[in-house]
Chain A
Amino acid sequence: MTAKAAGSSPGSLRHSLPVFNPDFMREAALTSADEALHTALDNSVTKKDYGRRATLAELPDSDALRTLAGDIKRHTLDNLDYYLAQLEANVQKHGGHVHYALGRDDANQLVIDIARQTNSKLIVKSKSMVSEESELNHALEKAGLEPLETDLGEFILQVDNDHPSHIVMPVIHRNAKDIGRVFERYFKVPYTDDPQSLAEMARVYLRQRFNQADMGISGVNFAIADTGSIVLCTNEGNGRMCTSRPRVHVAIMGMEKIIPEMRDLPIFLKLLARSASGQALTQYTNIITGPRRADEHDGPDEFHLIIMDNGRSRILAGDYRDTLRCIRCGACLNACPIYRKVGGHTYGSVYPGPIGALITPLFNGLAEHKHLPHASSLCGACYEACPVKINIPEMLIHMKKDQIDQGIAGFGEKLIFRLWTTGLRYGWTYRLGQFAQRVGMRLLPHKDGWITRLPGPAKGWTAIRDFPQPPKNNFRTLWNQRRVDRGTPEGKR
């Protein structure tokens, strides 16, 4: 039982993450006008957000629990080399194989190699974001293998050639009518949009495929270093089928998914399902330690764990280490006002929402996805929701600064901020600015006290709302008037 490392060239020329939508602004313009999408998102993510609040409130002190979970993750990341070695040793002790993949192509190749060695063709898959990162299905198909997504949402996306738009609820951007038509085409059955019947159709089909599959692929919610176990949390039970029915089980994880000890697990289980979907626990929680033992009835003959780097060690070494605490619960997406209006695909790659806005540029380079750190109102809802307390808004601000330092921000923008600051730094420039503003604003088109069109860089404001006309007497004027009336010199009350 040896650990093998695949891939030797660090930072292959390809991006760490695939890019589906390079044009953020275009996509945002379309989705933010799509009322049907907004309604769908409101009915799902906004509800989940309230579910999260309600179930967390049942705990005696959820805030302390989140702090603890964040601290455990921080400690693990600070000692990642140690815990990786421990995990590897313990997986091997229980008869499993461990493989390291530097890039995403390396991870895919490892799976292909294992499939060839074990004579596997039909591969059933449970949900894994890391496999979205590596576009595993494409790679497997290219290699002549037959991957099949078995999470209902992922299955729909696979047969319709679509991408997930949410970390936890991948198919959230599609409605039942939509899915009805997909199934009508795929299963060649009469159209129905009854969710129950649609789910049943998929269930019957998948059940039969589970029995035929040679290999099962799963993601990893948590890998426990001191026992060599992996933990899977699912609601549909497909994860359990994928990992117990086929002869071979391959689990793929990002290298940050470790927690040190089994006794840490309950802390994360308490938080994960509550944060993700407002459930106390997911329907199924599997703790898998190695392949089937001699005296056991079910389980695979072989267990492989692929640990993927794909840019993570670079992130680990930089200012954004905290992002690797993420347990991919999706709570920040559900809480985010921007996500609720633009949906997942607008973010361009596999990770949407606040955490995606932050890590996508980290994976692919700050010059790429330039808009992502800016397209945030910095409202803080994501930070408030995050079960491991990743301060996303603060890091987005930091990223804007990094963009400026790396010369990615436009010269025009820099000039505006410099002038603005100068205007605010000195009493006379401030008064001059205020005066110019007041006079200027009187000249603009207006209607009952509101300006309807602002010029220059401010035109974005009046594109969708009016701007209040400054009152005749502003606060300073009134204040001074009062001071004169009362005969008090400035500084005295």
Chain B
Amino acid sequence: MAVVKTLEHFGCSVDFPQAQTCCGQPQFNNGYPQEARPLAERMIRVFKNSAYIVTPSGSCAAMIRDHYPELFKDDPAKHQEALDFAARCYEFVEFLTRVLKVDVSKLTLPDPQRFTYHYTCHLRGLGTTGEPCISLLKQLKGASFIPLEKAEQCCGFGGTFAVKYPDISGAIVRDKVQCGQKTGADVMIVNDGGCAMNIGGACHRQHGDFAVKHIAEVLASAIDAGESR
């Protein structure tokens, strides 16, 4: 609900079409484009009437933008629909900073906290960097920012990769948790569901000290604090 709260705070009206399921990325990435196609069609249909589609997990946005048009390259009508859908689709931070151009400098966290930031890999696919999110953090009152060593190194999630190759994935995410520990931050910002589950799960297993959160959760807590004041 943090995403909804933040978007509404900045003046959007938010809908959640119940018929949506999954964008089909796991199918596509594992070499099953024919299985991904009906899921993509469903998504395009479900969101036909939305002006913007915003997703908190950036890898879904990357899937939609990078691969939906290609899935329908042999069907001109559907290809056009896919392009049109992709053009309306945004990752959460991207939407806040590029479309809404929000100013969060008036928001104050309920308690001061130290943050670090992990660069999730889908940002590469979206052609953006971690900077927009870090600048949001820096604007927030009560937030301090500590850079993460090897921030741009993948956390080792990679969808089915994490399950199929636990040894390799485990070595990579251990490294990520260690780098997180070194920052001494209270919170690591991870703006993707899969990566957050991975880093959070490894941090818990290794008895790490930091929490893993989505930037929307942080913004929503600041908005809440403002509203209760």
> Provided the pairs A28-B167, A377-B154, A400-B30 are in contact, do residues A493 and B14 lie with their beta carbons within 8 angstroms?
yes
Q: Please tell me which stretch of A127-135, A241-249, A401-409 contacts chain B, meaning at least 4 of its Cβ atoms lie within 8 angstroms of it.
A: A401-409
Q: How far is the CB of A304 from chain B (nearest CB, A)?
A: 43
- B163 touching A461 by the CB < 8 A rule? yes
Q: Mark A33-46, 1 if CB is under 8 A from B, else 0.
A: 10000100000001
Q: Is A475 at the interface (CB under 8 A from chain B)?
A: yes
Complex Cα spacing A381 to B24, Å: 22
- B201 touching A425 by the CB < 8 A rule? no
Complex Cα spacing A374 to B164, Å: 8
Residues from chain B with a CB closer than 8 A to the CB of A384 are 124
Q: Mark B191-222, 1 if CB is under 8 A from A, else 0.
A: 00000011011101100000000000000000
- A337 touching B164 by the CB < 8 A rule? no
> Provided the pairs A464-B170, A464-B173, A479-B16 are in contact, do residues A404 and B31 lie with their beta carbons within 8 angstroms?
yes
Complex Cα spacing A418 to B39, Å: 12
> Provided the pairs A476-B18, A493-B15 are in contact, do residues A377 and B169 lie with their beta carbons within 8 angstroms?
yes
Q: Is A13 at the interface (CB under 8 A from chain B)?
A: no
Residues from chain B with a CB closer than 8 A to the CB of A197 are none
Main secondary structure of the interface of A (DSSP, over half): helix
> Provided the pairs A33-B167, A421-B38, A424-B21 are in contact, do residues A377 and B158 lie with their beta carbons within 8 angstroms?
yes
- A464 touching B31 by the CB < 8 A rule? no
- B175 touching A425 by the CB < 8 A rule? no
Complex Cα spacing A424 to B22, Å: 6
Q: Is B98 at the interface (CB under 8 A from chain A)?
A: no
Complex Cα spacing A421 to B164, Å: 19
Residues from chain B with a CB closer than 8 A to the CB of A383 are 124
Q: How far is the CB of B206 from chain A (nearest CB, A)?
A: 8
Q: Is A378 at the interface (CB under 8 A from chain B)?
A: yes
Q: Please tell me which stretch of A186-194, A436-444, A465-473 contacts chain B, meaning at least 4 of its Cβ atoms lie within 8 angstroms of it.
A: A465-473
- A32 touching B198 by the CB < 8 A rule? no
Residues from chain B with a CB closer than 8 A to the CB of A465 are 170, 173, 198, 201-202, 204-205
- A401 touching B163 by the CB < 8 A rule? no
Within 8 A of B (CB), among A366-416: 374-381, 383-384, 397-404, 409, 413
Complex Cα spacing A341 to B159, Å: 18
- A464 touching B166 by the CB < 8 A rule? yes
Residues from chain A with a CB closer than 8 A to the CB of B125 are 380
Q: Is A204 at the interface (CB under 8 A from chain B)?
A: no
Q: Mark B1-42, 1 if CB is under 8 A from A, else 0.
A: 100100000000111111101101011111111011011001
Within 8 A of B (CB), among A73-95: none
Q: How far is the CB of A375 from chain B (nearest CB, A)?
A: 5
Complex Cα spacing A190 to B175, Å: 38
Residues from chain B with a CB closer than 8 A to the CB of A475 are 1, 16
Q: Is B85 at the interface (CB under 8 A from chain A)?
A: no
- A32 touching B161 by the CB < 8 A rule? no
Residues from chain A with a CB closer than 8 A to the CB of B174 are 464
Q: How far is the CB of B15 from chain A (nearest CB, A)?
A: 5
Residues from chain A with a CB closer than 8 A to the CB of B17 are 490-491
Q: Is A294 at the interface (CB under 8 A from chain B)?
A: no
- A460 touching B165 by the CB < 8 A rule? yes
Residues from chain B with a CB closer than 8 A to the CB of A398 are 31
Q: How far is the CB of B163 from chain A (nearest CB, A)?
A: 4
- Across the interface, A375 reaches (CB within 8 A) one of B22, B35, B161, B204, namely B161
- B152 touching A464 by the CB < 8 A rule? no
- B154 touching A337 by the CB < 8 A rule? yes
Residues from chain B with a CB closer than 8 A to the CB of A32 are 167-168, 170-171
Q: Is A420 at the interface (CB under 8 A from chain B)?
A: yes
Residues from chain B with a CB closer than 8 A to the CB of A458 are 163
> Provided the pairs A377-B156, A380-B121, A425-B39 are in contact, do residues A397 and B198 lie with their beta carbons within 8 angstroms?
no
Identify the A interface with B (CB < 8 A).
Answer: 28-29, 32-33, 38, 46, 337-338, 340-342, 374-381, 383-384, 397-404, 409, 413, 417-418, 420-421, 424-425, 427, 430, 450, 457-458, 460-461, 463-468, 475-476, 478-480, 482, 490-493
26 A-B pairs in the complex with CB atoms less than 8 angstroms apart: A46-B153, A338-B172, A342-B171, A374-B160, A376-B158, A377-B162, A378-B158, A378-B159, A379-B124, A379-B158, A381-B154, A401-B32, A402-B31, A404-B31, A404-B32, A413-B30, A420-B35, A424-B39, A430-B21, A458-B163, A464-B202, A464-B205, A465-B198, A479-B4, A480-B18, A491-B15
User: Lowest 9 CB-CB distances: which A-B pairs, in order?
Assistant: A377-B158, A400-B31, A464-B170, A379-B154, A465-B201, A401-B31, A379-B121, A465-B202, A460-B166
Q: A379-B121, A491-B15 are known contacts; what are 18 more A-B pairs with Cβ within 8 Å?
A: A28-B165, A28-B167, A32-B171, A46-B153, A337-B154, A342-B171, A377-B158, A377-B162, A397-B31, A401-B31, A401-B32, A418-B35, A424-B21, A424-B39, A425-B38, A427-B21, A467-B197, A480-B18
